[in-house]
Amino acid sequence: MVTLEDVAKQAGVSLATASRVLNGSTRQVGATLRARVEQAAVELGYRANIAAQTLARGASNVIGIVVHDLTDPYFAALADGAMRAAATQGLLVMVGTTHRDPEQEIAYVATLSAQRVRAVLLVGSRVADPRVTGRLREELAKYCAGGGRAACVGQDLLAVDTVAPANREGAAKLARALAGLGHRRFAVLAGPPHLVTAADRCAGFAGALEELGLPAPQIVPGPFDRDGGHEAARRVAPDVTCVFAVNDVMAVGALAAYREAGVRVPEDVSVAGFDDIVTLRDHVPALTTVRLPLKDMGARALELALGEADGPVVEQVDGEVVLRESVRRLG
Amino acid sequence: MVTLEDVAKQAGVSLATASRVLNGSTRQVGATLRARVEQAAVELGYRANIAAQTLARGASNVIGIVVHDLTDPYFAALADGAMRAAATQGLLVMVGTTHRDPEQEIAYVATLSAQRVRAVLLVGSRVADPRVTGRLREELAKYCAGGGRAACVGQDLLAVDTVAPANREGAAKLARALAGLGHRRFAVLAGPPHLVTAADRCAGFAGALEELGLPAPQIVPGPFDRDGGHEAARRVAPDVTCVFAVNDVMAVGALAAYREAGVRVPEDVSVAGFDDIVTLRDHVPALTTVRLPLKDMGARALELALGEADGPVVEQVDGEVVLRESVRRLG
DNA sequence: GGCACACTGGAAACCGCTTTCCGACGGGGG
DNA sequence: CCCCCGTCGGAAAGCGGTTTCCAGTGTGCC
């Protein structure tokens, strides 16, 4: 590999001058030398060693994003939003996937921190386990103490800037909308109880029903993915008229289960989800859901991480109820 | 940030010893000193500076993956496969998205190469423009000349290890299967002509029809995404009984267009896609398609890149025709 | 004409870690 | 008892850049 020294030698200038010409510096270099250096660099095919630059500058131009699962369109959208925002700032992105293992998440923060990345974004639900959360928070604190910046999309549990989707209130709004359509007997495909996002949505939904004086919904726990929804749907009580799956992917699983069972949606049962995943917009029947501006949230998280924070900023993001065919008016 | 020197000082040993203890080395260190160093590291919260390690070792433990669009489940699946494979080797992943801009792809290779990443994976179709391809190949060649490893998922046009899906043959098999169901008059939602993947699938399909002595299909070009399929479907001639969209996402767009237009699938027209995207498996009607083992392909590409290559290896990957409800038997 | 000053180029220190090379030490074999 | 070899610890030379500090030059002003 050709180094800066090679270029300097070839151009007949010092290392300092070559550096100033090739890798942005505040200092000016005379036109003649500048030209000589640039030509030498091109001739030799010079490419700066970024590891060396990072070391010398004490700062890198990469950010880290940690998500649970890239093949889940929810995370893909969030990550994409953040990556686009990063690209506009000339930042590179390292992506880590935890496959929903909190230990992995901690490990990634450690590794990214060792990489001296400029910022790390933690995308996805926290878990209810305070010990795991505590360790993650410690790891983040250490990273931030060393000059790192961090932000999180999810719950405000890590003492860093946070983009917090209004899971409770979104689910509550959905509950009120569904109740407004005449539904009385609900089930919630609740996901895993320890996932805060799932728990919040479930609680928000149930809470709103209670406020309305309606009977408590049947709570069906299960995995947070398509198969979880599929499986959970089969355990829903027969008198339920409306099922709320705590995310769209689960809702799609539930719809598939109903289809297989010959249960018509929305004629026999109504189904709603949460997130408004774009990839699913052509699903039949179209899914009633709570829309979250995922791409914007990802981008916003990056902004927060990069911005000057006095203390941790927490930004609430509202969800908007979108009524579609998978739900029908009752009676 | 605490450095190795701090640790060494605290432990009362030399830099060399501390390094040998903390960051894998072939050399042994006595038990006493080893313990002292480890304790000091923990007390101080030492974390190696990876930029410095990379510089000193001349090799990093990160790989680069360049995809067109992470929110497209096709790329998400491929990337996920590669990332899982990377994780088993203890490698970190930098992901770049080009949003289908070939210039971006070249730029990413340059940047990743400057990062001295261990390997770069180029995931996605090549474009037909020989000048762009040429420049990309040059960039890759330079990177490889400097000790880098590279692999590509797509067409064998870059003189690097390649995982090549059998686009032509897969489409041809699909054509034969559809003809076997009695269809005679086809349309191909062909995607952009300059995208080699799209062009190959289109050509494979048309070629098979010709071999069967059937009339040439109507070719409808357009963008390679959902909206492209949606829009193209509306330009299909009325006598066509079967539409082949060159990827699943486009096929879903086409199905949506038909639904909006009140055209029934498969009663009025049959629709097939390509890729067998997992996220779409619950689509109604279920999509006839050509299955590609996307995750495996991603993982395999990483293996190839990391493996010892005498010359560039090209690995063909077969597609398997999967007949589902979106297609019906004719007559 | 002389002086302060702004500006440009180069030498060298430094970023944090790895690794070679060297010296010291202890043990086993002759 | 001595020598040779194998081990282990430390000093120091990189890795490839950035940046500080200094020196030399040309300019504007008095």
DSSP code per residue over A260-282: HHT--TTTT-EEE-SB--GGGTT
C-alpha triplet B42, B45, B50: angle, nearest 5°:
110
**CB contact A90 to B (< 8 Å):** no
**Nearest-10 Cα torsion for A263, A266, A272, A277:** 90
Nearest-CA distance A141 → chain B (Å): 12
Gap between the Cα atoms of A241 and A253, Å rounded:
17
Which H or E element spans position B79?
A: helix B73-88
The residue among B43, B70, B113 with the most chain A CBs within 10 A of its CB, best to mutate, is: B70
Beta carbons of B32 and B12 less than 8 angstroms apart: no
Contact A249, A229 (CB under 8 A): yes
Tell me the C-alpha distance between B117 and B114, whole Å. 8
In whole angstroms, C3 C1' to A37 CA is 35
Contact of B283 with chain A, judged by CB distance below 8 Å, is answered with yes
Furthest CA-CA distance within chain B: 88
Calpha distance A217→A240 (Å, rounded): 9
- Below-50 pLDDT ranges, chain B: none
Question: Which of A47, A146, A259 minimises the CB distance to B113?
Answer: A47
Residue B155: phi and psi, rounded to 5, are: -95, 150
First-last CA distance in chain A:
75
Angle at B106 between CA B103 and CA B108, to 5 degrees: 110
CA of A214 to C1' of D29 (A): 89
Cβ–Cβ below 8 Å for A83 and B97: yes
Q: How many of the other CB atoms lie within 10 Å of CB of A100?
A: 18
Is the C-beta atom of A59 closer than 7 angstroms to strand D? no
List phi, psi (to 5°) of A245.
Answer: -95, 135
Question: How close A287 comes to chain B (CA, Å)?
Answer: 12
Collapsing DSSP states into helix, strand and coil, what is residue B245?
strand
Element (H, E) at A225: none
Considering only CB atoms, A73 lies closest to which of B47, B73, B111, namely: B73
Q: Which residue of B has its CA nearest to A146?
A: B1
d(CA B35, CA A203): 49
Contact A51 B60 (CB under 8 A): yes
* Residues pairing with B288 in the sheet: B272
Nearest CA in chain B to A54: B51
Nearest to A69 by CA among A322, A263, A267, A247: A247
Cβ pair A45:B142 closer than 8 A:
yes
In this structure, what token pair is assigned to residue A179? 């109740």
Task: Report residues 35-64 of B contacting strand C, contact meaning Cβ closer than 7 Å.
Answer: 46-49, 52-53, 55-57
CB interface of B with A, residues 252-271, below 8 Å:
252-253, 255-256, 259
Helix (H) or strand (E) holding A162, with range, is strand A161-165
3-state secondary structure of B260: helix
* CA/C1' separation A26–C5 (Å): 19
Residue where the block lists tokens 């010359």: B311
Tokens at A72, concatenated? 């889940």
Nearest to A94 among B62, B70, B226 (CB): B62
Measured between CB atoms, which of A71, A80, A283 is closest to B77?
A71
Exposure string for B243-267, b = 16+ CB within 10 A, e = fewer? bbbbbbbbbbbbbbbbbeeeeebbe
Is the alpha carbon torsion for B29, B30, B31, B34 positive or negative?
negative
Between strands A149-153 and A161-165, the pairing is: parallel
Token pair of B191, please? 């995607």
Alpha helices in A185-278 (DSSP H): 196-211, 226-233, 248-261
Tell if B30 CB is < 7 Å from nucleic strand D: yes
**Could you state, in chain order, the average pLDDT of each consecutive group of 10 residues for chain A (331 residues)?**
92 93 83 92 93 92 95 96 94 94 93 92 95 94 90 95 97 98 97 96 98 97 97 97 97 97 96 96 95 97 88 93 96 76
CA separation for the pair A119, B150 (Å, rounded): 28
Residues of A (40-99) placing their beta carbon closer than 7 angstroms to any atom of strand C are 52, 55-56, 58
**Out of A83, A280, A282, whose CB is closest to B255?**
A282
**Is the entire prediction scored with pTM above 0.75?**
yes
Nearest CA in chain B to A294: B71
Question: What Rg, from alpha-carbon coordinates, does chain B have?
Answer: 25
A27/C7 CA-to-C1' distance in Å = 10
Q: How many interchain CB pairs under 8 A, A with B? A: 125
CB within 8 Å: A49 and B55: yes
Question: Which residues neighbour B312 within 8 Å (Cβ) at sequence distance 6 or greater?
Answer: B156, B159, B160, B161, B162
The answer, for B310 touching chain A at a CB cutoff of 8 Å, is no
Alpha-carbon gap, residue B137 to A202, rounded angstroms: 52
**Strand, helix or coil at A66?**
strand
Residue type, B218: Q
Contact A249, A276 (CB under 8 A): no
Q: What is the pLDDT of residue B162?
A: 96
Give chain A residues 27-46 with Cβ within 7 A of strand D. 27, 46
At residue B309, the pLDDT reads 72
Q: Determine the Cα–Cα distance for residues A157 and B90; give it in Å rounded to an integer.
A: 29
- When scoring B282, B324, B326 by the number of chain A Cβ atoms within 10 A, the one with the most, hence best to mutate, is B282
CA-to-C1' distance for B44 and C26, Å? 34
